[in-house]
């Protein structure tokens, strides 16, 4: 992705601002492109860049494609290297073992991303014991 010939880069500091002011991946992208300009991009296997999307439906298609690609990359990362922070799973198990505590899990990830985390880290047998799951 390039805006005015420059690669689109979100630093950790910039993303921190976005995540604390704009909810959701697609709204973050729409906000950024609305303020910085819409990007050109080159789909995988293409020889030329796709022109800057002008029409709202073209912009939505780009954002949908970017979100889909982000989910693919996120799922790959989770399956290959992600692990729970020390003590998190034992804390979950302790809470799940107590009838006086209601347990819930909530995620802002896409459904596919959430399912990858559950399958790779939390595991479905543990997830099934939560009182509330919102993804």
- What pairs with residue 6 in β-bridges? 3
pLDDT tier at 49, thresholds 50, 70, 90: confident
Which pLDDT score is estimated for 100?
Answer: 97
Q: Is 102 helix (H, G, I), strand (E, B) or coil?
A: coil
Q: Dump pLDDT digits (tens) for 57-112.
A: 999 999 998 999 888 898 898 889 888 999 999 999 999 999 999 999 988 778 88
Tell me the pLDDT of the chain averaged across its residues: 90
- Threshold 0.75, pTM exceeds: no
| Helical pair 25-36 and 12-19, crossing angle rounded to 10 deg | 110
């Amino acid at each position: 992705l390039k805006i005015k010939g420059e690669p689109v880069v979100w630093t950790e500091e910039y993303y921190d601002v976005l995540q604390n002011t704009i909810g959701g991946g697609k709204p973050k992208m729409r906000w950024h492109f609305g303020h910085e300009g819409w990007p050109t991009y080159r789909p995988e296997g293409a020889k030329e860049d796709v022109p800057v999307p002008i029409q709202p439906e073209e912009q939505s298609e780009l954002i949908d494609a970017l979100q889909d690609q982000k989910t693919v990359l996120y799922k790959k990362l989770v399956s290959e290297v992600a692990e729970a922070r020390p003590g998190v799973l034992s804390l979950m198990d302790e809470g799940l073992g107590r009838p006086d505590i209601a347990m819930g899990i909530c995620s802002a990830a896409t459904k596919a991303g959430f399912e990858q985390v559950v399958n790779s880290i939390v595991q479905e047998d543990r997830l099934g014991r939560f009182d509330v799951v919102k993804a």
